Amino acid sequence: MASYEQVIHSLQHLITKREAAHKKRVTDKRFDEEGNVIAQEWTLTQLHIVAVMKAEKMANNRMLAEKLDLTRAAITKATKKLLKQEIMIEKELKDNKKEIYYTLTESGERLALLHEQLHEKAKQKYIDILQEFSDEELAVINRFLKSIANNL
């Protein structure tokens, strides 16, 4: 049976590896008019914004901040690059000129698809790992993860 120290060490190792993986950026390769490859790196925040926008069709900073549990400042920073790279465009509603809404461009739709594919790949990795455990072990793992999340 594993000791508390062994479990804590394994948890710290998991967190360190996960943080390193989080820092990796997703690269999207596109082509310019001459056929040259343009590689663009995206943060996870930017990808999650694109995913929410795909689901919602139109979103503003407040909605994105609420759905992603991020500050409006973080959303603003991420959306600036998405706008600059023409992944999304700004729109005003006819009856509300004060609020800016965003919609995805065709490039944004393609990036959303790439994000979905990455999520499916990650999900399959987790399923492959979880298949090694019995139902009882999965129940303990689930209870442990919920307890960790609830205490963050």
pLDDT digits (tens, 9 = 90+) for 14-52: 777 776 666 655 555 555 556 554 446 788 889 899 999
pLDDT, one tens digit per residue, over 47-93 is 899 999 999 998 999 999 999 988 999 999 999 999 999 999 998 87
Is 107 inside any structural domain? yes
- What pTM was computed for the model? 0.69
Q: Return the structure tokens found at 114.
A: 């790439």
Contact 37, 31 (CB under 8 A): yes
Token pair for 27: 């690269």
- Does any domain span residue 72? yes
pLDDT at 37: 45
- Backbone φ and ψ of 87, nearest 5°: -85, -30
Does 10 fall in a domain?
Answer: no
Q: What is the CATH number of the domain that holds 34?
A: 1.10.10.10
Task: Output the pLDDT for position 145.
Answer: 87
pLDDT, position 53: 93
How many other CB atoms are found less than 10 A from the CB of residue 78? 23
Q: 135 falls in which pLDDT band (50, 70, 90)? A: very high
Please check whether residue 128 lies inside any domain of the structure.
Answer: yes
Residue-range definition of the domain harbouring residue 120: 27-150
5 lies in some domain: no
- pLDDT band at residue 148 using 50, 70 and 90 as cut-offs: confident
Residue whose token pair is 């509603």: 93
Whether residue 40 is contained in a domain is answered as: yes
> Which of 29, 63, 18, 22 is CA-nearest to residue 45?
22
- Nearest CA among 57, 62, 66, 46 for reference residue 102: 57
Is 122 contained in some domain? Answer: yes
Q: Measured between alpha carbons, how far is 103 from 108 in angstroms, rounded to an integer?
A: 9
**pLDDT tens column, 88-129:** 999 887 777 778 899 999 989 988 988 888 888 888 988 999
The total number of structural domains in the chain stands at 1
The answer to which of 8-12, 31-35, 133-137 has the lowest mean pLDDT is: 31-35
The pLDDT value given to residue 139: 92
Where are any strands of DSSP class E within 69-125?
A: 88-93, 96-104
Q: Is residue 21 part of a domain?
A: no
